[in-house]
Amino acid sequence: MPEKNSVAAHYTHGRLLDAIIGGLEKLGKTPDSVIVDDLAPVDEFHIGGRIATESFLDQVTLGPDDHVLDVGCGLGGASRFAAQRYNCRVSGVDLTHEFVDAGTALCAWVGLADRVTLEQGDATATSYDEGMFDKAYMLHVGMNIADKPALARELFRVLRPGATLGIYDVMKVGGGDLTFPVPWAVNSSESAVGSPTEYKEALEAAGFVITAERNRRDFALEFFAKLQAAASKAKNPPALGLHILMGKNAPVKVRNLIENVSENRIAPVELIARKMA
C-alpha cells in the first residue's frame, strides 16, 4: 500500500522547472513565447497523451460555466488544456509540491493563471467546500491511491448534485503479477492498481451512478507501437518529454508498462459517473 510521502517522493524531480526550461530552449522557446500545445510532450503524463486527454474530456462535457476539479493534476497539463479548450475554470490538487509549484509557473507562462489554480493536497481529504464543483476528472491517478472508497466519498462530497465525474486510470484487468518499475511505482508496495469492479463498487457506494465504461487497451497498444517506432528512429530523447518526469530509468518503466498492458494484466480504462440530482 503506497504511503502519501512515498508517492510525493516518487514524483519529485528536484529541478523540474529548470529541466522544462532547458527543453524549451532546445525547441527555440522561452517562458515568454511558449503556448499550451508546446508543453504537451511533458504535460500529458498518461497513456495516449493529448489524444487520450481530448477524447476523455469530451465525455465529461465541460463547458464555459463549469468550475472543474482536476484530481491528481500533476503539472496541470490537463487543467491548462481544459481551460483553453472548453473555456472553463479549473482547480487542480496534487500531492507533489514540486508538480504544483512548477505547474503554477507554467500556467502563468501561457496566460492561464486567472482560470487555473493548482494546490498541494490529498485527493481523499481536500480543503474544498461541499458541492463546490460542476465537474471533476482524474487521469492516471488511482494507481497511487489505495483507499478507493475514501476517494469516491470525497469526490461525491465536493461535487454538486447532477455533476459528472470522469476517471481515466490504469486498472487491473487480468491475472498475473505486474513487472516493475512502472511510471507510477518502483515496486508493488508503491502501487495501488485496482480493478474496474473495485472502482465501480467504491463509486456506487458513495452515491454515484456509472453511466459509461470503456477499456482502452487496443488504443494503448496502438499508441505504444507508434511510440516505439518513433524512438527507434531517434538518436536521443526528445527535448521535451515524459522522460524528464520519469528520470534515468524512464526506458525501463515504459518497457515494463508496455509489457504489462500487452500481457493484459492491466489496461487504461475510462469510467464516467454522475452524482444524481
Q: How many residues does the chain have?
A: 277
Interval 220-263: pLDDT, tens: 999 999 989 988 888 888 898 999 999 889 999 999 999 999 99
Average pLDDT, the chain: 95
CB 83 within 8 A of CB 112: yes
Integer Rg of the chain from CA: 18
All three cell numbers of 257, joined, read 508498462
> How far is 270 from 93, CA to CA, in rounded Å?
20
**What is the third-level CATH fold of 4-275?**
Rossmann fold (3.40.50)
Using alpha carbons, select from 52, 106, 112 the residue that is nearest to residue 75: 106
Task: Write down the pTM of the prediction.
Answer: 0.96
> How far is 186 from 10, CA to CA, in rounded Å?
8
Structure confidence at residue 3 as a pLDDT band (50, 70, 90): confident
According to DSSP, residue 185 is labeled B
Q: Cell 486510470 sits at which residue?
A: 169
- 183 CB neighbour count, 10 Å cutoff: 20
Structure confidence at residue 108 as a pLDDT band (50, 70, 90): very high
Q: Cell 508543453 sits at which residue?
A: 39
By the 10 Å C-beta count (0-12 exposed, 13-18 middle, 19+ buried), 32 is classed as exposed
